């Protein structure tokens, strides 16, 4: 799957958990899930679970802990697809 396709899917997964909806207008690979999008730490777990379900993959806790930006999530998914 191409990076842009993965990015769009990740954005759709994250959107329900975003507490700063205005940040979605400028979301990009470097957008911080916590600082920019205001996804709280409890909801990050839900985001990871949704990613696992959507992409049919398992994410190790250590890998999940490294997902700080939208781009981190995209790169993690792409690495798992290779």
Report the top-level CATH class of 3-81: mainly alpha
- For 5-63, the pLDDT digits (tens) are 999 999 999 999 999 999 999 999 999 999 999 999 899 999 999 999 999 999 999 99
The 3-state secondary structure of the chain reads: CCHHHHHHHHHHHHHHHCCCHHHHHHCCCCCECCCCCCCCHHHHHHHHHHHHHHHCCCCCHHHHHCCCEHHHHHHHHHHHHC
pLDDT tops 90 at residue 1: no
Residue-level pLDDT at 76: 97
Average pLDDT over residues 68-81: 96
Residue-level pLDDT at 82: 81
pLDDT tops 90 at residue 74: yes
């Amino acid at each position: 799957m191409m990076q842009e396709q993965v990015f769009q899917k990740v954005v759709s997964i994250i959107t329900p958990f975003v507490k700063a909806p205005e940040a979605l207008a400028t979301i990009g690979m470097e957008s911080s899930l916590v600082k920019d999008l205001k996804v709280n730490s409890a909801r990050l777990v839900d985001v990871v679970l949704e990613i696992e379900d959507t992409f049919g993959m398992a994410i190790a806790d250590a890998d999940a802990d490294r997902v700080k930006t939208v781009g981190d999530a995209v790169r993690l998914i792409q690495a798992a697809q290779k």
